[in-house]
Amino acid sequence: MAVYTEISDEALRAYLSDYDIGELVAFRGIAEGVENSNYALKTTTGDFILTLYEKRVNPADLPWFLGLMRHLASRGLSCPQPVEARDGEALRELCGRPAAICTFLPGVWPRRVRQEHCAPLGAALAELHLSGQGFAQERANSLGPQSWAPLLEGCRKGGDDVQPGLISELDRALEGILREWPQNLPRGHIHADLFQDNVFFLGDEDGAPRVSGLIDFYFACTDFLAYDLAICINAWCFEPDFAFNVTKARALIGAYRALRPLSEAELAALPVLCRGSAMRFLLTRLYDWTHTPAGAMVTRKDPLEYLKRLRFHAAAQDVRAYGL
């Protein structure tokens, strides 16, 4: 989440006048993340999230994202629900941007990942993949392997300023990833961005964390299901010093497999899928690092964190590196 577009009180009140969600009490920008402008809304009827869609989000894709969230919720997955205005439309325009209001989910995202978070996450990811079945429309992954070479090309001018020799290392790594990328793994609808700040937890009576909701579906797409698992391994199974925690990976993957078994082909492809997901986030972070406009209320993320992950996966011989 981030804020690129500022909203005046007057513009927001006029926008909300088309909804039956009460009177505005307070709103504030949410600076975390890098993609869209997000505001926390409090009205006399409750809490909501207002999103103005910017940057990489194609407005033509927005009905798909909102439709997927409705479908997942209808199958029992806890995720935000688009709020319709009085005319029945959830997608509108505010300050020259496509915009939507979604329901607010309770819970907090973990600032420090513990092993106890990983099994609930794996189960929630499997539930997402299973719940997505039956949503007939597909959306290609706009940040899939076909996008990585153009992204890297766009980073050449400033990439080596981030770290000397970075671009040549990425050239070599990307060539290997694309050469080994699998072709025929099980496919379905994936989240594609299930980082810590997109997973909310609440504590059970015994204090164990349980997933209370998944948010931010604006990179969701139709792709290899195991690629989504690889994204979570990268996001959840490395320590602050970037050492890989095999115990966390074993818990994450084991809980996922308990609900949705992985094929032999998926297991064999896991190292290259992890390399590919590390490359994807390294490149988008590097692009943002070198292209984010000055003065934007946005938290830039360090691309070199994913270089360390990429190097770990490049050294992995097979799934034993992930505790399997």
pLDDT at 298: 58
pLDDT at 299: 61
- The rounded Cα 235 to chain-centroid distance in angstroms is 10
How much is the pTM? 0.91
Q: Please provide the distance, in angstroms rounded to a whole number, between the alpha carbons at the two ends of the chain.
A: 34
Task: Report residues of the chain scoring pLDDT below 50.
Answer: 1
One-letter amino acid for residue 284 of the chain: T
pLDDT at 290: 84
Residues 6+ apart with CB under 8 A from 194: 121, 125, 214, 228, 231, 232, 235
**Widest distance between CA atoms in the chain:** 58
Residues 6+ apart with CB under 8 A from 239: 245
Residues 6+ apart with CB under 8 A from 56: 35, 142, 143
Backbone angles phi, psi at 257, to 5 degrees: -65, -25
Residue 297 in contact with residue 54, Cβ under 8 Å?
no
H-helix or E-strand containing 226? helix 225-236
pLDDT at 104: 93
Tokens matching residue 244? 């890989």
